Structure 1
Amino acid sequence: MGSMDGKVAVVTGGATGLGAAVGRRLAGRGARVAITYSRSADEAEATAEECRALGVDAVALRGDVGDDAACRAVATEVAERWGRIDVLVNNAGRTRIVPHSDLDGLTAEDFEAIYRTNVVGAYQMTRAVVPHMREVGYGAVVNVSSTSSLDGEGSSIAYAASKGALNTLTVSLSRALAPEIRVNAVVPGFIGTRWFSGPLGQERYEELVGRVEKTTPLRRAGTPEDIAVAVVFLCDEGAEHITGTTLVSDAGASLKPKG
């Protein structure tokens, strides 16, 4: 079928949006896919069914990455089902929308909740799959970051800071887990998913899409499929010489202005 025939991938937060696009693309390359979710059971099962329609086995598993026991349980169930784990995509994310100027709008509890998913969750899920990857002598971990980590913008200061921490976690883990396991990050800019459309509403969302299309050097508003290409590249055999890197996929939005 493809370059990932026989391999097994876990995609956290894979029920919808970018995670679902990654799951489908991995399945299209021949990988068996476990989609994890914390709330969206029906949507996760629908994504797993889309993966199965591509000719591979796939399963939806409940598991909050902020819960270490849940991470270990997911890893154990996947390994028992298919005998191995080759790929982990840490896509599960959380935020709270607070203007950056409103310093009183975020509490310590907000920071802890966002970091628990975006940073601690990625660490715990990686730790859970490492023994299974080492058993097969190979592994690829891809963390889904954000351009908020580069420009300090985004939905809240806590979110931007968590994604900066995730970038550093990527580098630290790439050193700690080499040579058997590669760890990289993809840094998306705008992605047309309900992560944006839900909080903004349809009219403001469409205005944002139009603004992105006019202002990015490539004149593109990113789709989940655009970012999934980058994620799966770092999972696949074409990236076997790459670890500890952050790959920006934002239609050039983070480039410095000309002149």
Structure 2
Amino acid sequence: MRQTVCIVTGSSSGVGAATARLMASRGARVVINYARSADAAEAVAASCRELGGEALVCQADVSQDADCRRLVAQTLAQWGRIDALVNNAGTTKFVAHGDLEGLDEADFHNIYGVNVIGAFQMVRAARAALTASGCAAVVNVASIAGVKGVGSSIAYAASKGALITMTMSLARVLGPEIRVNAVCPGFIEGEWLAEGMGQAVYDQTRAYLRAKTPLQVTCTAETVAESILSFIDSHSVVTGQHLVLDGGHLLL
């Protein structure tokens, strides 16, 4: 991984930050991207440098094509190449699935704009540089919601299902120079999910999954990052696949 250049979108916290730190610990050059959380992004970059990697902080809203192209241009201006892209930026609205009135057209556009269109625009902007790398990897951070159809909202689950499908579509046309895969985490421990679900529901759900799933575990940002890294650093004959990280939740 030494001097591998990787863009990680939405990397000021959570899975994105954990991925950036893990890659930096292996000697990678990492682009820390944020939309609004500048201070948090700078803190992640500082930790990446302490771990032995290089870091570049770039503001960009991936739902905006011009921002995606600027992010790629800044990366190339800094390091002259791009070897990996992790499409981690995502958004949702927590709405019970039975509450159909709880989602409107704007909610769908906002969620799809980041979760699906944003990932596509980042791949499109980085395609030439990734192709020039010769052995590049794109990892899309989807969700078990896209496989199971259950998540923070129907719009979110649908967007992650679309991202899984797009992973296959892109893999068909970007090889052999670029591999495209997706990770689909289940319940991820952390403040973001606790705030969205509410602490009581979060605690109940975590306890249930730890008791009932075959492996009796739930994901952390760090365990998801490990799987993302594996798609970048190994699995050289794998493309168009999605890996479910759920401790066996789908088997219930």
TM score, norm. by length of structure 1: 0.95
Shift of 1:193: 1.9
Match of 2:173 in 1: 176
The question of whether the paired residues in 1 share the 8 Å contact of 2:85 and 2:139 is answered with yes
Shift of 1:43: 0.6
Confirm or deny that 1:110 pairs with 2:107. yes
Taking the TM superposition and a 5 Å limit, the aligned residue runs for 1:125-136 are 125-136=122-133
Deviations 1:15-59 (A, max 9, x none): 001111111111112210001010111111111111111112102
State the AA in 2 paired with 1:241. V
Deviations 1:162-217 (A, max 9, x none): 00000000000001101100000001001012221112343443333222211211
- Pick one of 181, 193, 197 that aligns with 1:196: 193
The question of whether the paired residues in 1 share the 8 Å contact of 2:26 and 2:52 is answered with no
**Larger mean Cα displacement after TM superposition, 173-182 or 200-209:** 200-209
Taking the TM superposition and a 5 Å limit, the aligned residue runs for 1:82-121 are 82-121=79-118
**1-side partners of 2:185 and 2:196: how far apart?**
19
- Identify unmatched segments of 5+ residues in structure 2: none
Match of 1:147 in 2: 144
**2-side partners of 1:34 and 1:208: how far apart?**
34
Shift of 1:68: 0.3
Which stretches of structure 1, 4 residues or more, deviate above 6 A after TM superposition?
none
The question of whether the paired residues in 1 share the 8 Å contact of 2:139 and 2:180 is answered with yes
Confirm or deny that 1:251 pairs with 2:229. no
**1-side partners of 2:207 and 2:128: how far apart?**
46
**1-side partners of 2:94 and 2:243: how far apart?**
25
**1-side partners of 2:250 and 2:171: how far apart?**
24
**2-side partners of 1:203 and 1:189: how far apart?**
18
**1-side partners of 2:147 and 2:73: how far apart?**
35
**1-side partners of 2:49 and 2:200: how far apart?**
35
- Identify unmatched segments of 5+ residues in structure 1: none
State the AA in 2 paired with 1:206. D
Percent identity for Structure 1 against Structure 2: 49
CA RMSD of aligned residues (A): 1.1
- Pick one of 8, 17, 21 that aligns with 1:20: 17
- Pick one of 39, 49, 52 that aligns with 2:49: 52
Deviations 1:75-127 (A, max 9, x none): 01001101110000000001011111111211111111100000000000111
State the AA in 2 paired with 1:86. D
TM score, norm. by length of structure 2: 0.97
Say how many residue pairs are matched: 252
Shift of 1:60: 1.6
Taking the TM superposition and a 5 Å limit, the aligned residue runs for 1:219-258 are 219-236=216-233, 238-255=234-251, 257=252
- SS at structure 1 position matched to 2:217: coil
**2-side partners of 1:224 and 1:183: how far apart?**
21
